[in-house]
Chains A and B, each alone.
Chain A
């Protein structure tokens, strides 16, 4: 007993030391596990973001590109684009484009999700499979399909519209006029975006408790009232998330316009992303392009905040 009492002190201290070392190891483990991911994100997302802001205050042309060093010019780039009529045109065009595309995507996507609840079971299976099929089509492939369907000579769309007596569309070039050109681009983007919205909304529609709907119906509520008072409030969180994601995707639209117009869209087709791309990569004014891109990021930041807040609220982030 006495020997045990004597040795108690060193033993305890040894145990305590081991315990703390273990605890430190345990506390460091998650950081070590996160490190590779954090480093990758820091180097390839974080640093370029910083560089983007820095470049937007610099003259960065071909000469600077070769020297690997920009020349500080203060807010000159911003002053330049804010006094540039084309910039305001492009900004307005991008905003209108985003509003139209997001509205169409959300309304049609939700409508089809509601339709899924009404149709027979076999058709529901067929529709979901069809939607997943459309969803899986790569963007560039989708662009090529639509380019082919609206081809001015042999396109199936012109033939169909002419046959339906909507007008004479024989040899009608949709891209000659930017309004009809953007109509095609909108159709292509909305077509590609509907499956994601529909399937997500349908998944949450299916989770609306049936008893709630029945109770409302028994209380004499009309279907439209049931939808507005019961279903819609339950759908709101997912609709907010989907809308903010759609805004973010559509505001930065680039590849659909770029590829469908054969890599050389006229300035009538410029959106923010294409304008920034043109300024930097085609006329080598990387500083100006960066300033335009910063404005673009700021516009999209708002949608990002709404998205993050809703994700936090929904409890997705635990």
Chain B
């Protein structure tokens, strides 16, 4: 199945005349050195987080940096998970994320079915609405949202946060699902119906298995968004027992100042699921990404 979801193939290098070969090679070496420098600069911060997380305390609080943790230790990770409210935060994040993913995938699937498989009045307007609505700044909306949620008694409640996350991931998930559905040729469905299947039967037997990858990608996108969100969780969840992991991580400071080792260990733990899922869908990254929303 080619649904145009993978990153486009790398361009073929033009055939180089032999005469130019040597100069080209020198050129290439220069470009490669520059590329290595860029790679080092980009990846270093991530490396530094992981390296610090595995370092014993005296190697962290040292005026000359230790580039490699020697010997690597797990004590920072132990300290991080023994911080107050870590497990509360894990539980809350899991509750929020699973609910948001489940609901958003169902709703997005229904909506994208309408957008991809039906022609109806107002379809284009709805697509423009979905694209435009993502551009409304959350930092501005947070004020009326707080007023509205306090009227509804949803401040400091996970349900309120779930409802807001659901709405904020919906435009993007609808957009992504729609792209996947558009990638499935109409002929497949029609062939099933010619063979005697009902529209519903064709849907269940033909369409559903084919949108499987789309459902997976969409739910991972929703997962990442809900897992990473900070502002809403920070404004709406006051009691420490109700905070999510990102709020827990952001307020990770002790009375004696920042404890860098456990903080970096905690940061590594919080980033791990996202990095894992992100790399999993990386083939599909080039797909639909200009529709906004997904940024680290």
Binding site for B on A (CB under 8 A): 27, 29-31, 33-34, 36-38, 40-41, 43-45, 47-49, 51-52, 55, 60, 65, 68, 112, 115-121, 123-124, 126-127, 130-149, 151, 153-154, 156, 159, 191-196, 199-200, 202-208, 210, 213-214, 238, 241-242, 245, 248-249, 251-252, 254-255, 259, 262-263, 272-273, 276-277, 280-281, 286, 289-290, 293-294, 296-297, 300, 303-304, 307-308, 311-312, 316-318
Contacts and interface: CB of A to CB of B under 8 A. Distances in A.
Interface stretch (B70-78, B127-135, B187-195, B208-216): B127-135
A286 B143 CA distance: 7
B180 to A, nearest CB: 14
Contacts, number: 311
Interface residues of B, number: 106
20 contacts: A30-B123, A40-B167, A48-B144, A49-B141, A119-B28, A119-B31, A123-B39, A127-B39, A133-B46, A143-B250, A144-B250, A151-B260, A153-B61, A206-B9, A207-B8, A245-B292, A263-B251, A276-B139, A296-B140, A297-B140
B140 A206 contact: no
Contact of B137 (A68, A116, A248, A280): A248
- Sorted nearest first, the 5 A-B pairs with minimum C-beta distance are A136-B278, A273-B139, A293-B140, A30-B114, A51-B144
A134 to B, nearest CB: 5
Given A137-B46, A192-B296, A300-B135, 15 more contacts: A48-B148, A123-B35, A133-B275, A138-B274, A139-B230, A140-B230, A147-B258, A153-B63, A159-B63, A194-B42, A199-B285, A206-B7, A263-B250, A280-B143, A290-B144
Given A40-B170, A136-B274, A249-B295, A148 B131 contact: no
Nearest to B110: A33
A194 B168 CA distance: 24
Nearest to A193: B295
Given A154-B60, A262-B253, A308 B131 contact: yes
A156 B138 contact: no
B151 interface: yes
Contact of B11 (A51, A131, A153, A206): A206
Given A44-B163, A119-B35, A255 B137 contact: no
A41 B271 contact: no
A130 B140 contact: no
A317 B128 CA distance: 8
Interface string B25-68: 00110011011101100110110110010000000111111000
B197 interface: no
B45 A149 contact: yes
Contacts of B204: none
Interface in B100-135: 107-108, 110-111, 113-115, 118, 120, 123-124, 126-133, 135
A316 B171 CA distance: 15
A40 B133 CA distance: 12
Contacts of A281: 143, 146, 235
Contacts of B27: 118
Nearest to A40: B167
A214 B147 CA distance: 60
B140 A252 contact: yes
A87 B170 CA distance: 34
Nearest to A158: B63
